[in-house]
Structure 1
Amino acid sequence: MTDMEKMAAGEVYWGFNPDFGPLLDKGQDFCFQYNQTSPSDREHKHHLLEGFLRKVGRNVLPNSPINIDLGNMEIGDDTIINFNFVALDEALIKIGNNCFIGPNCSIYTVVHSLTVEERNQGYMYAKPVTINNNCWLGGSVTVLPGVTIGEGSVIGAGSVVTKDIPAGVLAYGNPCKVIRQIKEMPKNDKSDK
């Protein structure tokens, strides 16, 4: 089994393998082109995303700058990604429809060895991250490897999400913890009574 296959399977792989160099270069080249493209050239920016990511939905246009390793991402329709987004996507990152990703958010899939010897030799593995539909990540949220955030949940600014978060909750903190269920806001009555 190659290191590339091990990475895809979630097994320990040698991250310093030179075979990864061209893939990481491709990611850096994409980010450079995307970040240098005028914000008003939406069509070209979306075209770049379609050529790099595994899937990109309608009305998705992350604000520059972004930094993405490999393009191993799927983003649903009508999702907003604010400035300074970082995705270390050695394992698959899935972001659903109608998500709000605040500024300075980071999603990591890579886990380095805890032992100095193995870490310095480049041994690591990757675990996928899923952010389901209708989620909101406040500014400066960090999502760690292997985490799933349930549909409709809100993660408060500055949180570090280390474990799965269920659907329909407000969660925040470091480490991020569920605070309460989210109840629907009352509908705004716009009639002239």
Structure 2
Amino acid sequence: MTVPQSVLDAMHQPGVYLWDDATMGAAQAGQRDLLHTINTLRANDPERERLMRAYFAEMGEDVWIEPPFNANWGCCTHWGSHTYANFNLTLVDDGEIFIGDHTMIGPNVTLVATGHPVRPDLRERLAQFSEPIHIGRNVWIGANVTVLPGVTIGDNSVIGACSLVTRDIPADSVAFGSPCRVVRPINDHDREYYWRDRRIPDGI
């Protein structure tokens, strides 16, 4: 990790803080350059995985992120093992983002761990706040979903396409909408049918 710990501590402190271009901006520049290099490499280039491991805070085994992707920092995002993200993932990760093992992320998903105060004069001073996002194990996040600061999504849950997730979603739930709401628990029907009335074949 090339970003000083003092910069990370400043961004991850509770409450509102002011962007400091002399320290935060300078530290972010190196991460932007590394991201640019990653996105120019072919998907199967071994150098791409090596650079991603340097770029992210943590990256487990068997992680695949379709190119291109975007992130504010990279070094504040933690990937579990056997995870997958489809095209055009965006990580607003001034705050930390934690993604559990076996989680799948659809195309055009945005995970936003940082926001700005509503009060206009604070925004003029480049004030912002960060709250971590926690995505559990074996979660499926559908296409075009946005997850906002401070949200926790429990293990095994499914977030339907185009949802805006503003509050925590419990484990073992199917949730969708804007704002995203729990529609039902994962149930016995899901153990027999993979989609609507289409039965899961024997042997799978």
Contact 1:14–1:122 (Cα < 8 Å) also in 2: yes
Please report the RMSD computed on the Cα atoms of aligned residues, expressed in angstroms.
Answer: 1.5
* Matched residue, 1:59: 62
- The Cα shift of 1:16 comes to 4.2
Matched, 1:10 2:14: yes
Alpha-carbon distance change, 152 to 97 in structure 1, aligned in 2, over 3 angstroms = same
Is 1:180 matched with 2:193?
A: no
Question: d(CA) in 1 for partners of 2:86 and 2:112?
Answer: 17
Q: What is the Cα deviation at residue 176 of structure 1?
A: 0.3
Q: Which residue of 1 aligns with 2:44?
A: 40
> Secondary structure of the residue that 2:34 maps to in structure 1?
helix
The alignment covers a number of residue pairs equal to 188
Q: Deviations over 1:130-187 (max 9, x none)?
A: 1000000000000000000000000000000000000001100000000000124226
Identify which of 168, 176, 189 aligns with 2:202: 189
- 1:74-153 equivalences in 2 (<5 Å): 74-153=78-157
Mapped to 2, the partners of 1:27 and 1:62 lie a distance apart of 17
Does residue 1:162 correspond to 2:166, yes or no?
yes
Secondary structure in 2 aligned to 1:170?
strand
Please name the residue that 1:171 is paired with. Answer: 175
Shift of residue 23, structure 1, vs aligned partner: 2.3
The superposition leaves residues 75-129 of structure 1 with CA deviations (integer Å, 9 ceiling, x where unpaired) of: 0111010100010111110000001100000001112010111111111110000
Q: In structure 1, how many angstroms separate the alpha carbons of the residues matched to 2:79 and 2:36?
A: 20
Q: Distance in 2 between matches of 1:179 and 1:53?
A: 33
Q: Which 5+ residue runs of structure 2 have no aligned equivalent?
A: 1-5, 193-199
User: Where do 4+ consecutive residues of structure 1 move more than 6 Å?
Assistant: none
The SS at the match of 1:18 is helix
CA–CA distance in structure 2, aligned partners of residues 49 and 167 of structure 1: 29
Once the two structures are aligned, what percentage of the paired residues are identical?
33
TM-score by length of 1: 0.92
Distance in 2 of aligned mates of 1:162 and 1:114:
16
Whether contact under 8 Å (1:12, 1:123) holds in the other structure is yes
Query: What one-letter code is carried by the residue in structure 1 that aligns with 2:202?
Result: D
Instruction: Calculate the TM-score normalised by the size of structure 2.
Output: 0.87
Q: Which amino acid aligns with 1:180?
A: R
Whether the 8 Å contact between 1:27 and 1:68 is mirrored in structure 2 is no
Q: Is the 8 A contact 2:72 2:93 kept in 1?
A: yes
